[in-house]
Chain A
Amino acid sequence: MAIRITVNGKRRTITASPDTPLLYVLRDDLRLRGPKFGCGLSQCGACSVLVDGKEIRSCVTPVVGVVGKRVTTLEGLPALYAEQKSLRKAPALHPLQQAWIDEQVPQCGYCQSGMIVMAAELLERKARPTDAEIKKWMDPHLCRCATHNAIVRAIKRAAKVTSRAGQELA
């Protein structure tokens, strides 16, 4: 059946059975490469995306479940950030993406889309999280290359930027 969903600010119509996990729609129909298949069991977080700003596991979320909601993948983070911070124009990179580059976080990088998406929700909830808060928040996500420490450094670096952004408007 035809299903209308909103992904990264764009309305898309796809033809799929309603129980199809969102992940396969994003990857196979919309050809997005940010979200990854990792386990299909909601155990690892490689497939994470934001739905109305909250992290969900797209590998176990039926596509009908996001109808009428706003899906944001790794690719859509800069635009979402611009909206959250009332910026006139979306930056090329979300501050987390820039921090991931600055800290040279990824090894293979396969899990990092889910990590960045997860961290994006954290920084919306908590402007300057402590190391312990970051680790606890990120704990449901697996990284086999074991870049955990670099990820924590990158989130702290990004938080310095995101916590100040939009202040000039306040």
Chain B
Amino acid sequence: MTSFEQQTFTRTGFLKGGGALIVAMGLPATALWPDSASGAIGAAHAWPTEVDPSALGSWLAVHADNSVTCFTGKTDLGQGNRTALAQIVAEELDVSFGQVRMIMGDTMRSVDQGPTVGSLTTALAGPQLRQAAANGRQALLSLAATRLAVPADKLTVKDGIVSSVTDPSKTVSYGELVSGSLLGVAMPRKGKGTGFGLSLGGAQPKAVGDYTVVGKSIARVDIPPKVTGEWFYIQDVRLPGMLHGRVIRPPGLGSQLLGYGKPSHGARVVRLKNFLGVVAEREWDAIQAANDLKVRWSKWARLPTMANLHKYIRNTPSLEDAVVSSVGDAAAALANAARPFSASYTSALQTHGSIGPSCAVADVKDGSATVWSGTQGPNVVRAAVADALDMPLEDVRIITYDASGCYGRNGSDMATVDAALMSQLTGRPVRVQWMRHDEHGWDPKGPATVHQLRGGLDANGEIVGWDHEAWIPAFFETTVIGSVLAGRTVRMPSLHLWEDPILYDIPASRQLAHYQGDIGSTENNGVGLISAWIRSPVQLQLTFASESFFDELAAAAGADPVEWRLRSLKDPRMIAVLEAAAKAAKWQTRPSPGPNARATSGIARGRGVATSLRGGTYNAAVAEVEVNRQTGKVRVNHVVMVQDNGLTINPRALKLGIEANVVQTVSRALMEEVTFDRSNVTSLDWEGYPIIRFTDAPTVEVISIERPDLRATGSGEPSCNPIAPAIGNAVFDAVGVRLRGMPMNPKRVKAALRQAA
């Protein structure tokens, strides 16, 4: 039996020194692989607080068999980071792709490169790995020069075999060069940046024109084991002596635990203040015991009503206001505009909706904690676990395994703290998997937002002013619910970036952010409906509002929506993606609404366009929709998505990722809305919170504009941004009615049609 724990626990302790080690070691490569090596370390340990980024051995290990292990603080959320980063390393080291294995997100063994968020992995972590690999190649060449007695500049490398340019009989492999020896190479750091901001110096990386691995559609390494059932997800991690734990959350955000009865099924109750759960030897017993346990909680019902949600957001005093951008005097321009326009837009709360509820396994004993997690941010959750357990950071190790897709901060970090708390309370290893109602109920929610847009046209129909005021979450931090319930308040750092440049050349404009706390937080000592962005942080909502309203101005000016945009665009890359989208969609130049929009019955068809710029990645989308005037149902038939993200590491993986992201966002744009009552979330399963299915998934044409000469920017998220406004603009084209609330579900569509009639 090749069980997980056998593989895990027979190879212990070989890397106690963490980043201080290696480019070398005689260890077989398999000993470092993530599916066999993670796991128990000796009992006594103080793991490094930081794996030293300036040591080459923190990044790379070369093995006797000429294979390479690369350590990265990044994780793979299902979009193929593992493969893309390995391509970058293979390219720079001059080894074949198959020679590189990745170890991802182990706080003891991998450099903190920042959490895997914001489509920043190939954009920021890619260059870090590229530089480390370039330095590794240089160090290995220098060793080879000595060994072969050939100057380094007369050496060439292919598949990790170094040979002399002038005498091909002189060869040595990387593995032979380093086997059994340590190669302590220090790398210069540029500046003091860490995580995302870490910048390394050293050898000159390759010219893009010489690439043979980067830019190729290499098949993803995780896919074969994922289709045979061999892949280890976090949900598959098992430890000897492990208990199964389930959490029991309060019915209201502010409910206090008053008491509980006897647990069923031989389970034990674990409790710390309001943190409550059960543990049992068998999983099904834990599940039943959690269902059966009689618990008395105090009543708490101070959330706003759903109907009042957006008014509540707008009227709650903000934590901070910030002018995000300002050009000219927008207020004066709008006041003097011949034709002023104003509209408010809203978006609903949404759930990340991971198909696999969050899971973690923790082993807290002898003053240390080893925690297996599906987190996006191993170093972020490491600090949260240390705080929750009241332990020094260096006694906590986080080992990351791939999880069910998260698309943002789902319940993973929360479940990680839950498992750690339960293990500390029981003294046993504990595996916690959330149930469906836990994930739907307690994953941090994609936030609801409110937008006030104002725009002005002059007498000639040209835009003279623009103002976008948005009530959006502050996100200085994300509350970890288990810690709060246990009386160990922990807030994890988060981001509140409004990174929404005004795409268009408008003489006077302003963007103003009102940064709000979580919904209900002022009514409950700071703990509200906890929120965390779903792709793409704040910009999905901002773009829905701004690109819809920009279309309103186009319609007011009687302009074709594509031409209207092109008229105000200056950035050639944005112009190129928009023109490519219009061409692929066979866009017919005419203003919206379309000629049949005034009909009153039947199915109406329309098309809409929108653009976005996120983190340097340009997108333009054209959506083709059908609107059923009777039922109010919007169906998206086809989407053209054009993207320019500079250099593409893996074109096929990129296109498939975009295609999926588009369909997911169609789901969010049309149907997804978390429901809640005055106490808590009420949409606790897939019936209460439906998502898109096969029969409603649109076809997608993805067009990638190749710019290998430009730096790689992100791709996981950006293409979601123009989807909702493209759909809303297409609905306007079809029926002449403007949708200003997301999701654009039948209820909202019918209300808008009624209002217009």
Contact = CB atoms under 8 A, between A and B. Distances in A.
A6 interface: no
A112 interface: yes
A98 B503 CA distance: 44
B660 A107 contact: yes
B436 A139 contact: no
Interface in A99-127: 100-101, 104-113, 116
B231 A104 contact: no
A3 interface: no
A43 interface: yes
Contacts of A113: 229
Given A33-B233, A149-B699, A107 B657 contact: yes
Contact of A145 (B224, B233, B405): B405
Nearest to A20: B284
B79 interface: yes
A73 B230 CA distance: 12
B667 interface: yes
Contacts of A53: none
A150 interface: yes
Interface stretch (B157-165, B215-223, B338-346, B614-622): B215-223
Contacts of B230: 33
A24 B283 contact: yes
Given A46-B356, A135-B694, A93 B404 contact: no
Output the residue of A20, A97, A104, A107 with the most chain B CB within 10 A. A107
Contact of A148 (B226, B405, B657, B697): B697
A129 interface: no
A138 interface: yes
Interface string B206-240: 00000000000001101110111111110110100
Interface in B77-115: 77-80
B703 to A, nearest CB: 15
B166 interface: no
Interface in A3-34: 16-17, 20-21, 24, 27-28, 31-34
B227 A146 contact: no
B436 A75 contact: no
Given A16-B284, A97-B228, A146-B661, A106 B78 contact: yes
A142 B355 contact: yes
A144 B232 contact: no
Nearest to A143: B355
B405 A150 contact: no
A150 B219 contact: no
A160 B355 CA distance: 30
B404 A146 contact: no
A39 B686 contact: yes
Interface in B644-687: 652-653, 656-657, 659-664, 667, 685-687
Given A75-B229, A101-B227, A108-B77, A144 B686 contact: no
B402 interface: yes
A104 B656 contact: yes
Contact of A38 (B228, B356, B695, B700): B356
Contact of B226 (A73, A109, A140): A109
Contacts of B663: 146, 148-149
B187 interface: no
Given A74-B229, A144-B405, A150-B659, A104 B355 contact: no
Interface of B: 1, 3-4, 77-80, 219-220, 222-224, 226-233, 235-236, 238, 282-284, 287, 353-357, 402-405, 407, 433, 435-436, 652-653, 656-657, 659-664, 667, 685-687, 691-695, 697, 699-700
Interface of A: 16-17, 20-21, 24, 27-28, 31-34, 36-41, 43-44, 46, 73-75, 93, 97, 100-101, 104-113, 116, 134-136, 138-152
The 9 lowest CB-CB distance pairs between A and B, nearest first, are A108-B78, A34-B229, A108-B405, A109-B226, A146-B663, A146-B664, A110-B404, A148-B697, A135-B694
8 contacts: A24-B283, A33-B232, A38-B436, A138-B694, A139-B694, A140-B693, A142-B693, A145-B660
Given A46-B355, A134-B694, 7 more contacts: A17-B284, A40-B435, A41-B685, A97-B228, A104-B223, A135-B695, A144-B407
